[in-house]
Chains A and B, each alone.
Chain A
Amino acid sequence: MKKLPKWNEMEEGFITRILSESINKTGTWRTFKPIIDQSRCTKCGWCIVYCPEPCIYYESKKDSKILIDYDFCKGCGICAEECPVKCINMVLEE
């Protein structure tokens, strides 16, 4: 994770700019981390559809490996719940 800024490195007056959502990594909120068991994954893309962030994606084209962007995954667990083959495990964050 990126190191958080010191008080004197931050802009004064708590200002949020456009695309700040790509700078502020919300992955720190996570308690449980979803891990895809790639050997059992059917690449159906159901998790991509359900991810509210959305931070689950195909590595390159459709039907390629499915990956999770942990910088933004908040660990809600919806993907694990919805996975038709139950190949996503929620593991306690270290």
Chain B
Amino acid sequence: MQIIEPLTLSGNLAIAYAVKQLDVDVVAAYPITPQTTMVEKISEYISKGELKANLLLVESEHSAISACLSAAASGARVFTSSSSQGLLLMHEILFITSALRFPVVMAIANRAVSAPINIWNDHGDIMPQRDTGWIQLFVESAQEAYDKVIQAYRIAEDDKVRLPIMINIDGIVLSHTYEPVYPISDSDVASFSPWNLYSPRLDPDNPITIGAFCYPDYYFETRYQSLKALNDSLPIISNVDKEFGELSGRSYGIVSPFKCDDADIILISMGSISMTVRAAVKKLREKGEKVGMLSLKLFRPFPSKELIRYIKNAKAIGIIDRAFSPGAVAGPVFTEVTSALYLSKMDIPSVDFFLGLGGRDVKMEDIKDIFNILKRIVKTGLIERHSYYIGLRG
């Protein structure tokens, strides 16, 4: 592998750089807020001639994702990005993209949803997209975002997968924060993620109809196909990550455990907040406390088996949720983790911690408070509450 000097990039720019290296054909996006600098940078690459692609600046996110899936249907490699309200406007088309098996790749700067208007980070925009049938990856740094975009095209275009992928970077925290990013060479990118585009594609000489009207006698089977493809994609996602590790020295896993082996208490988190949790675990370990953490890198398909392997010996588990699922039993991540535990016939005390909504800072002290609550549960064996709202006034 060719050694390349690091670049100073924000999460957005790291993704734009990867998109340029991946030689994407069509980028369709809504150019105004909640769009990020990702597409701004891509348009700069195109105007300078560094990337030969069609940039479609459409009138809404609904049109952006529609244009992307249509371009993918004609056999193009496509990219789009959005955030917050824009992602919510895409919602309808997201289902269509996955059911018709278009390998669309989208990067999302995760942000809070209105109302009230808030432009900061939480997972309120992505959680409503859980059931759209997309592969959903979460990252912790700009470097990881860059690496995942390269992996995403390889996964999405795999003949056994052929599903769209969302790469989630925490808004502001990752999307707008600059850090050193080590890119891999253009030729390495090309050989790692070679074109393997959608087929059969729309072709005037060989006309087909994709996604036509479907009666009850075919709908069930068609939806099952994409469900099965999503469930079966997990080992492929895992392998692509390993292969990327062999190429670049950076492998992240679909779950990333830290000090879980002998931990009594494990805190599960997703996205950039995992960095803070990991640092807190290090501090507490120095004091001799048996704590660990696990960062979920993949939310759909949910890596139940891999997760259980690391948390099965814990005496208490905390789960961080950065979005509400109003009226549900608990937060979205908590519900997944506890379902996985139940199906593995494990009864480990689990508590849901809501925090960091709308960009509220999460400090090391907050994480230590969480560990204290969990410690109390291990000590007394009593769960006072199943949900805590960390940092909520009142």
B162: chain A residues at CB < 8 Å are 12-13
Q: Does A7 contact B101, Cβ atoms closer than 8 Å?
A: no
Q: 1/0 per position for B218-241, CB-CB distance to A under 8 A? A: 101110111011000000000000
- In the complex, whether A15 has a CB less than 8 A from a CB of chain B is yes
Q: 1/0 per position for A48-87, CB-CB distance to B under 8 A? A: 0000000000000000000000000000000000000000
- Per the bound structure, the CA–CA distance linking A8 and B209 in Å amounts to 20
Q: Does B212 contact A16, Cβ atoms closer than 8 Å?
A: yes
- Per the bound structure, the CA–CA distance linking A10 and B221 in Å amounts to 8
Q: Does B208 contact A10, Cβ atoms closer than 8 Å?
A: no
B212: chain A residues at CB < 8 Å are 14, 16
Q: Does A12 contact B225, Cβ atoms closer than 8 Å?
A: yes
- In the complex, whether B382 has a CB less than 8 A from a CB of chain A is no
A17: chain B residues at CB < 8 Å are 208-209
- Per the bound structure, the CA–CA distance linking A8 and B221 in Å amounts to 8
A16: chain B residues at CB < 8 Å are 208-210, 212
Interface residue tally for chain B (C-beta within 8 Å): 23
For the residues of A in contact with B, the DSSP-based class is: loop
With A12-B101, A14-B211, A15-B209 as contacts: A28 and B221 at CB distance below 8 Å? no
Inter-chain CB contacts under 8 Å: number: 49
- Per the bound structure, the CA–CA distance linking A7 and B227 in Å amounts to 11
- In the complex, whether B113 has a CB less than 8 A from a CB of chain A is no
Which residues 1-45 of A have a CB within 8 angstroms of B?
A: 4-8, 10, 12-18, 28
Least Cβ distance of B341 to chain A in Å? 30
B208: chain A residues at CB < 8 Å are 15-18
The chain B residues found within 8 Å of chain A, CB to CB, are 99-102, 162, 200, 207-212, 214, 217-218, 220-222, 224-226, 228-229
Query: What are 7 A-to-B residue pairs whose CB atoms are below 8 Å?
Result: A7-B220, A7-B224, A7-B225, A10-B218, A13-B101, A15-B200, A16-B208
A-B pairs, 10 with minimum CB distance: A7-B221, A13-B101, A16-B209, A16-B212, A14-B222, A7-B224, A13-B100, A12-B225, A15-B208, A17-B208
The chain A residues found within 8 Å of chain B, CB to CB, are 4-8, 10, 12-18, 28
